Structures are given as C-alpha cells and as structure tokens.
Amino acid sequence: MTASNSERFLVAFNRIEKALEKMTGSNTYVSFFKLIDFAKKKNAIVRRFEDDLREYGDLRNAIVHHRTAIEYAIAEPHDEVVEKIEQIDRILTEPPVAGGQFRRQVRIFAPDDSLADALRMAGKKKDFQIPVFEEDEFRGLISPSGLMEYLAETVADDVISREITTLSDILRHIHTGRSYEFISANLSVYAAEEMFSDAVVKGRRLEALLITENGRRDEKLIGIITPWDLMKIE
C-alpha cells in the first residue's frame, strides 16, 4: 500500500527531529522550534533551511493534533512539500561535503612557470584559478582579479611578455589581501557557501576555497570551489 503524503511527511519530519537532537546533544525533551534555535548556531544546513523547518513544525502540529482517526489526517501536505522535506532530510542526515562534490585533479603550477603556459592550461581546462606551489609549499593563488591587478600595476611598462613573465612575478604584484581560504574535505557545501556570503557582508574579496583533506595548506590540494560552482546548490 502506498504511503500517504502525511505519512511520508511525518517520517521525514521525525528523522529531521532526531538529527537535530543528535546535533544539539539533547537528552531530554526540547520542542522542535527550540531545537532549530540551538542547531542553527552550529550548522549551516539548518540556517539555510530554517524558514522551511519552522513551517514544517507548524504543519506537523496541524497533522498530529487534528487527526480524526489514526489513518486519517485532515491536513494532507501537497506533493511539493513532501518532496522538499524529504530532500532536507537527506541533506541533514547525509550532508553533501566539499570533498565529495568538488574533488578533482588540480593542476599545480610552479613559481617559475611562465604566465603564457599557465594561461594556455587554464584556457584548455576552463579553470582560471592558478595555484602556485614551490615543491610542496603553497606560495599563493592567482585568480582572474589577481591577474588584473598585476596588469594594472604594470600597464606603464612598454612591453608585457607573457612568455617571460613568471607566476612569481605576478604574485609579487598582488597586494589586495588573501582571496582564498583552505577548507577540509568534510566541510559541508552549505558551510562553504556561507563562507562566500559572509565575505561579501564583511567587504572581503573571497574568490576560491582550496580543499585539502584536513584543511591544512601543507596538504595536497584535492579541489577548488568558486562562487560560480556553488550556484549549482539548490
């Protein structure tokens, strides 16, 4: 027998409630709305879907408290509502993480590589974030805006040779502050999204998140996230 929308809704709701209890370490009864208040302080996914969760709390109460029989609910959720709460349930219980969604082979460049070589590779890969390492030591990230900063500072030069110019030359001309952060592979993509939005609020230019297993700059780079990548998140 196919489950009704109210049954599917309540199953997903109860799973979410248990996830919030685990997240907040609650051992005694706490109302669903209080769980949201506590959980949103530490979890980006809860913050992202807070309004939806509060609406679902009201709907759950309407379903449970206005049943005329065990098998009959007066408030029967629409398909879209059920699909959305089931989606949030999946996201909360199995959060999509940076290392899962954005892990890839990252092309690494050396300080003495020429700008021309880096641009050729970037154009071929359609990836214009250029990480620079000297052996295993991270030296910096050249982003499109960083490259523009270099060009602006050297515009008075008679000739700018892309074949002669090295990535080390460009890094020396970038003075606007760090435009990247290192993050661990298990950081949720919603927390990563918040890092970009928080940077905008603070007036900081954050152009890329560099993924390593534990978020340390001395580890192998296993992925890069840009704001454009995160536009794919629903």
Q: Please report which confidence band the pLDDT of residue 164 belongs to, taking 50, 70 and 90 as the band edges.
A: confident
Residue 67, pLDDT score:
60
The DSSP secondary structure of the chain, one letter per residue, reads -PPPHHHHHHHHHHHHHHHHHHHHT--S---HHHHHHHHTTT-HHHHHTHHHHHHHHHHHHHHHHTEEETTEESS---HHHHHHHHHHHHHHHS--BHHHHSB-PPPPB-TTSBHHHHHHHHHHHT---EEEEETTEEEEEE-HHHHHHHHHHTTTSS---TTT-BHHHHHHT--S---EEEEETTSBHHHHHHHHHHHHHTT----EEEEESBS-TTSPP-EEE-HHHHTT--
pLDDT tops 80 at residue 74? no
CA distance 68 to 52: 26
Residue 186, pLDDT score:
97
Mean pLDDT of 143-160: 77
Mean pLDDT of 34-62: 96
Mean pLDDT of 126-144: 90
Q: Which residues of 186-196 are buried (b: 16+ CB within 10 A; e: fewer)?
A: ebbbbbbbbbb
Q: Is residue 6 a contact partner of residue 73, using CB atoms and an 8 Å limit?
A: yes
Query: Angle at Cα 160 formed by Cα 154 and Cα 166, nearest 5°?
Result: 90
Percent of the chain with pLDDT over 70: 90
- Structure confidence by residue, pLDDT tens digits, 190-208: 999 999 999 999 998 899 9
pLDDT tops 80 at residue 40? yes
Sorted by where each begins, the domain ranges of the chain are: 5-95, 100-230
Phi, psi dihedrals of residue 138, rounded to the nearest 5°: -70, 125
Which CATH code for domain 100-230? Answer: 3.10.580.10
Residues pairing with 133 in the sheet: 138
Residue 111, pLDDT score:
95
pLDDT tops 90 at residue 177? no
Residue 66, pLDDT score:
62
* Full-model pTM: 0.85
